[in-house]
């Protein structure tokens, strides 16, 4: 791999030491792919520097009064990575694992994700270091509102539009919308997406990420000349994205043979009844008590004999340690960053088609864009219209990435980055540099 230096020459970018770091550091993992794509696009040195640097990194203190009368101070972040193509777009997460590097990586991912599906947004991300499971509803509201007011100068329908992410939900988006609106002295529904329907949320938003996964998997099977019927699917992570992906894939004629949550999974080579599994999980809060199946670990699920693997849970679950054991022909990345940079090389050597996260799970941000459009226009679409427009964007985007992959003989991941970076770079060239 090489990189364009300031003198315009191609020079090696990262020694092996940094390849190791790419597996450990989420920003470096993202940038390892960025560097490869930028070098193949022959990106100018100046533009390379611009696109490799976040525009704005905000660190705020978030003091709140706990229910017991004590004051606690949390640390919050908001990173705007790039806004050349439009307002920044990206979720907010509440988690003890939040770091500035993670938020920066996710903001960059959002930049490329919005560009790869060609919606007019840039990328951002935010987070607060906290354990929401230890907080009451009132404490969560106070923290959400205080965090929103701390970053309010960057927020706005034309500047930065948050959404739910890890441990945040539509209720918290309602609090952010209300906080922002109170400061502006009028209701501003378009400041966040992922809101309740009653407050300007979009129909089809909850299912959008899973629906996008199903649509690109369908296109990948078509590209490989494989029938939908009888295609065996294993889904790691049975939350919103994983469960809806499994449900919609089953409706398309695929056979879901395994699903899992954080405690482990269930496997039936003849196929599971996905609606029944969802109902069981809602009632019992665990998959382990589901009848007439084989109980498996998450690691065993990744190595199952199946056609399609959907990692829809955590980052870095497919690594150099287990990549060689994967038997699936297609990996559809429902989660952000489930495959390490080392694992990418192994999967490519095995001929596995990986539909990368910035394409595979972009259905969510696409329908968030639809929500923003509907809020700004004050006119709302029915669910059929939302789903039709989502399908058109996801299918077109898959075809554009596949064409780029074929043209340059690269993986779908590098092709997706090439499509995205090229679009962002073109806008930078057209806008020029303000000085």
> What count of other Cβ atoms lies within 10 Å of the Cβ of residue 247?
19
Sort strands 56-65 and 71-82 into parallel, antiparallel or unpaired. antiparallel
Q: Is 222 a catalytic residue?
A: no
For residue 294, give the DSSP letter.
E
Catalytic pick from 89, 104, 113, 125?
A: 125
Spatial separation of the C-alpha atoms in residues 109 and 79, rounded to whole Å: 12
**H/E run at residue 330:** strand 330-332
Which CB contacts under 8 angstroms, 24+ apart, belong to 55-60?
55/80, 55/81, 55/82, 55/83, 56/80, 56/154, 57/100, 57/104, 58/151, 58/154, 59/100, 60/147, 60/150, 60/151
Contacts of 260 (CB under 8 A, 6+ apart): 235, 236, 237, 238, 266, 287, 296, 298, 301, 313
| 117's tokens | 């599906």
Where do runs of H (alpha helix) occur along 263-340? 274-284, 298-302
Spatial separation of the C-alpha atoms in residues 409 and 211, rounded to whole Å: 28
- Nearest of 270, 232, 279, 222 to residue 253 by alpha carbon: 232
For 129-231, strand residue ranges (E) read 160-164
Q: What angle do CA 7, 22, 340 make, to 5 degrees?
A: 130
Spatial separation of the C-alpha atoms in residues 376 and 195, rounded to whole Å: 14
**H/E run at residue 94:** strand 88-94
Question: Which residues are known catalytic residues?
Answer: 125
């Amino acid at each position: 791999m090489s990189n364009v230096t300031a003198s315009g020459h191609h020079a090696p970018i990262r020694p092996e030491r940094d390849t190791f770091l790419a597996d450990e550091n989420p920003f470096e993992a993202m940038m390892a792919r960025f560097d490869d794509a930028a070098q193949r696009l022959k990106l100018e040195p100046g533009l390379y520097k611009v696109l490799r640097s976040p525009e704005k990194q905000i660190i705020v203190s978030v003091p709140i009064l706990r229910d017991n009368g004590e004051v606690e101070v949390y640390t919050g972040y908001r990173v705007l990575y790039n806004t050349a193509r439009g307002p920044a777009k990206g979720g907010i997460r509440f988690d003890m694992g939040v770091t500035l590097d993670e938020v920066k990586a996710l903001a960059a991912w959002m930049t490329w994700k919005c560009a790869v599906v060609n919606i007019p947004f840039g990328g951002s991300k935010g987070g607060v270091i906290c354990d929401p499971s230890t907080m009451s509803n009132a404490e969560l509201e106070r923290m959400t509102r205080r965090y929103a007011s701390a970053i309010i100068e960057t927020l706005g329908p034309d500047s930065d539009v948050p959404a739910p992410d890890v441990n945040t939900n539509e209720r918290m988006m309602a609090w952010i919308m209300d906080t922002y609106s109170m400061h502006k002295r009028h209701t501003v529904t378009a400041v966040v997406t992922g809101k309740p329907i009653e407050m300007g949320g979009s129909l089809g938003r909850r299912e959008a990420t899973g629906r996008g996964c199903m649509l690109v998997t369908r296109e990948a099977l078509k590209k490989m000349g494989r029938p939908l019927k009888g295609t065996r699917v294993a889904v790691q992570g049975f939350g919103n994205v994983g469960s809806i992906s499994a449900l919609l894939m089953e409706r398309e004629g695929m056979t879901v043979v395994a699903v899992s949550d954080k405690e482990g999974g269930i496997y039936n080579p003849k196929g599971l009844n996905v609606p029944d599994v969802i109902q069981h999980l809602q009632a019992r809060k665990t998959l382990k008590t589901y009848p007439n199946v084989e109980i498996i670990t998450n690691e065993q699920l990744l190595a199952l004999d199946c056609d399609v693997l959907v990692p829809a849970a955590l980052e870095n679950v497919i690594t150099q340690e287990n990549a060689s054991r994967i038997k699936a022909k297609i990996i559809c990345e429902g989660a952000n960053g489930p495959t390490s940079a080392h694992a990418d090389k192994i999967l490519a050597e095995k001929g596995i088609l990986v539909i990368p996260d910035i394409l595979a799970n972009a259905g969510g941000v696409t329908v968030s864009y639809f929500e923003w459009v509907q809020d700004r226009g004050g006119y709302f679409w029915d669910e059929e219209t939302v789903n039709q427009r989502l399908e058109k964007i996801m299918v077109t985007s898959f075809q554009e990435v596949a064409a780029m992959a074929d043209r340059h003989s690269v993986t779908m991941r590098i092709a997706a980055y090439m499509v995205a970076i090229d679009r962002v770079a073109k806008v930078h060239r057209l806008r020029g540099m303000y000085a």
